[in-house]
Amino acid sequence: MKYPSKLLDKLSDGIFLVSSNLNFANTQAQSYFGLKNLPSLQELVDCLNKDFESSTPLTTELFTSPELNIILKRKHSRDSIPLVLSLICYNSSQDIFNSNNVIIIKDVTAQHIVDSQTKDFLSLISHKLRTPNAALGYAMNLLLNRTQLEFSEQEVDDFIQQSYLKSLELSDILEKLIRYATVSADKVVCKQEEFELKKMINEITKKYHNKYGDSRKTYNISCPQNIKILTNFPYEYLSIIIEALIDNGLKFNKSKLPQIIISYTIDSKQKKIAISIKDNGYGIPYELQEKVWEHFYQIDKNGTGEIEGFGLGLALIKKIIDTFSENIEMESYPVKGTIVTFTIPMINEN
């Protein structure tokens, strides 16, 4: 039988033509399943059962059925790249396909990853919101009944402090969600602004200290003095980037004295300023350094199974940097720490 193979080979989707056997596979279908030669239908089914997962048992009868509508997910291995395929049968009575069933194969990996991440994120957010909210409600209930329970002044002060910290935690979660949604919608207004780097860092550290007080261990942040930059990079978004990197450097840090060192270089020809933020935290494994920029991605904290945050901090930074077509790089070593360097446009230097 002759098929319009040249036309079908140009398609971005995979195509199988099936009757009682597998009669044709276009180039894309062969690529998806690693086919060098046209196998029999039974050989194809055996191959798919070996390499892919499916909620529906894969049989030759299924592939000859006009009701075929399945999702195949490549089985995970150390070297495998994620691949999720949608297979849908189109029953053709047209002569061009010689009454074969046409199975259309689409790569839905990206959609599957987003759906999976969104589901995980919603579950995580539900947990992150529920935990401080429950603790806040418990503390408030104890305070309301403090006369019957006969709490000391110190215990009442402790309840108030814990309630305050939990309310800040809730506020922080909501603030990050709003920030991420805003930047993701590209609602960014560019205007020329002058900022002093040291002053910005002082505002961030003051905000950090006001938020956590003495509840977090002592830390040290160093920054060059008297650096003023005129740029069209919004102050608000630059502050978000630096604050998030400082927060990560302190949060993912087991040193007795967490250190944050902020430095910069100026490229007058390219009219760029590169800002580097270095910490002495426990670093990010090399194989995860690309993944941490993905939204909703989280790292197991120090291999303990404990996870802080909810996977939006670095994704938010990357979104801001990409929105302005700037660059960001990460250099990180386990135990030694992490350096993140990003660029912003410079109109002139003082």
pLDDT of 230 reads 79
Domains (range + CATH), the chain? 5-107 (3.30.450.20), 112-187 (1.10.287.130), 188-350 (3.30.565.10)
Any idea what DSSP says for residue 336? T
Strand partners, 90: 102
Q: Rounded to whole angstroms, how far apart are CA atoms 179 and 181?
A: 6
Q: Residue 97, SS3?
A: helix
pTM given for the model = 0.59
Q: What is the pLDDT of residue 305?
A: 42
pLDDT digits (tens, 9 = 90+) for 153-209: 787 788 777 777 777 777 777 777 777 777 754 556 667 778 888 888 888 887 776
Q: What is the pLDDT of residue 303?
A: 43
Residue 195 pairs in a beta bridge with: 229
As averages over each run of 10 residues, the pLDDT of the chain (350 residues) reads 79 92 93 92 94 91 91 80 90 62 92 78 69 73 72 78 76 75 62 81 78 61 78 86 89 86 88 92 88 76 50 85 91 92 78
Provide the CB-side half-sphere exposure for 236 (13 A, CA): 8
User: What is the arrangement of strands in the sheet containing 348-349, beginning at the earlier edge strand?
Assistant: 193-196, 228-231, 348-349
Helix (H) or strand (E) holding 46: helix 41-51
For the chain, give the percent of residues with pLDDT over 90: 28
Adjacent-strand bridge partners of 91: 101
The per-residue pLDDT for 174 is 77
